[in-house]
Amino acid sequence: MTAARRDESGARLAYFVLTVRQASWFMNHRSYRRAADPHHGTQGWKRGRKLADFLQLTLNGLAVGCIYGLVALGFVLIYKATELVNFAQGDLLMLGAFVAYMAVAWWGLDYWLAFLIAIAIIAVFGALLDAVVLRRVIGQPQFAVVMLTIGLGSMFRTFASITWSTEERTVTSPFSGVTQIADLTLRHDYLAIVAGTLLLCGLLYAFFTHTRVGIAMQATSQNQLAAYYMGIPVKLIFSLIWAISAGVAVVAGVLLSPTGTISINMGLAVALKAFAAAVLGGFGSIPGALVGGIIIGLIELYGGRVLPDGIKDTAPYIVLLLMLVVRPQGLFGTPGRKKV
């Protein structure tokens, strides 16, 4: 190859790569990995302290899995109601994390207040998304609407990169600190994640089963036409579901922020795993989403320690493929078939 052609081909490749790439999964992925498992990459268990090590990994995997589970929960909530998959869920997580950061760092607000404000703003944003954008595409093939959410996600990332620039930032929270119990290092931010997830799920469960609005949501997701007949304001309910789903994403984002750095592309990496988690659990099942998330989180942590270099990044996906081959409807899903 002549020098000129090398330059040209290099430039073409660079141009190509730059125009195509926007997120680098594994690069971003690594900052949380390092946080979750300081011994990540070293093969084998720490000698002499196998049980403690195993417990440590399990706890950390639980925390990571809860984040995936929360985002998967957001996916499933919207899917159960509207049979659409919202690929922008991860980006809503990112927006929530940044709004909370902005409230603390730029406006000087208290952490909890910022948390609530972020939830409120993004939840309203989610409802508006449904009312303004998603409502117009009812009746279009499911795949086209999924692509719509992908496009929206891309727009959110661009908006974020313009408003807050692309640098990674660290976030402080009341949960920075650790407690040592024997050989176990309990990070407070991980405990907060697990506690927050349990609390949120408890709230959602109570909401869906014991309030009128929640029951109306269940009805709408099962039979839209019948819900209309019963006088349920179906469109409003859909917007509410979107608002709740967005709120769940924000909770996940704010809980996730202190464990690593926040950046524009943090949502993308999480969303991909969360998607796998939702499918693993069976896409129509809310407990399935959480269980799926925890399984993915545990696989990631255990695999990161035990598996050889080539497989550990893709271990969750291999498990997912195996699950889909053996049981195409996921763990808790019901095999669907059209009634004719």
**Sole binder of other proteins in the list 21, 47, 210, 212 (CB under 8 A):** 21
Residues 299, 290: Cα–Cα separation, whole Å: 14
Closer to other proteins by CB, 251 or 296: give it.
296
Q: Residue 122 and residue 116: Cα distance in Å, rounded?
A: 10
What does the alpha-carbon distance between residue 118 and residue 115 come to, in Å, rounded to a whole number?
5
Segment near other proteins (CB under 8 A), from 168-176, 201-209, 292-300, 320-328? Answer: 320-328
Which of 78, 119, 148, 295 binds other proteins (CB under 8 A)? It is 148
Please count the other Cβ atoms lying within 10 Å of the Cβ belonging to residue 337. Answer: 6
Q: Which residues contact 50 (CB under 8 A, 6 or more apart)?
A: none
Among 7, 24, 205, 230, binds other proteins (CB under 8 A): 24
Q: What is the tally of helices (H) and strands (E) in the chain?
A: 14, 4
Distance of CA 305 to the CA centre of its chain: 23
162 vs 184, beta carbon nearer other proteins: 162
Smallest gap, in angstroms, from Cβ of residue 71 to other proteins? 14
136 near other proteins (CB under 8 A): yes
* CB neighbour burial string for 239-277, b if at least 16 within 10 angstroms, e if fewer: bbbbbbbbbbbbbbbbbbbbbbbbbbbbbbbbbbbbbbb
Which of 83, 110, 167, 168 is in the footprint of other proteins by CB under 8 A? 83
Q: By CB under 8 A, which span of 191-199, 244-252, 297-305, 321-329 interacts with other proteins?
A: 321-329
**From candidates 17, 51, 181, 182, binder to other proteins by CB under 8 A:** 17
Binding footprint of other proteins, residue count (CB under 8 A): 76
- Residue 279 found at the interface with other proteins (CB under 8 A): yes
- Across the strands, what pairs with 178? 187
Binding segment toward other proteins, per CB under 8 A, in 104-112, 171-179, 194-202, 313-321 = 313-321
Among 3, 20, 181, 182, binds other proteins (CB under 8 A): 20
Distance in Å, CB of 302 to other proteins, minimum: 18
**Quick one: tokens of 4?**
């000129």
CB of 140 to other proteins, least distance (A): 6
Report whether 301 contacts 64 (CB < 8 A).
yes
Rounded Cα–Cα distance for residues 9 and 143 (Å): 36
- Calculate ∠ Cα 153-156-161, nearest 5°: 130
Site for other proteins, residues 208 to 227, rule: CB under 8 A: 222-225
Closer to other proteins by CB, 172 or 334: give it. Answer: 334
| Cβ neighbours for 190, distance < 8 A, ≥ 6 positions apart | 59, 60, 62, 63, 259
Among 215, 306, 313, 331, binds other proteins (CB under 8 A): 313
Q: Give the x-and-dash track for 85-124 against other proteins (CB under 8 A).
A: x---------------------------------------
Residue 158 binding other proteins, by CB under 8 A: yes
Under rule CB under 8 A, which residues in 39-78 are in contact with other proteins?
A: none
Question: Which residues have a Cβ under 8 Å from the Cβ of 208 and sit 6 or more positions away?
Answer: 214, 215, 217, 218
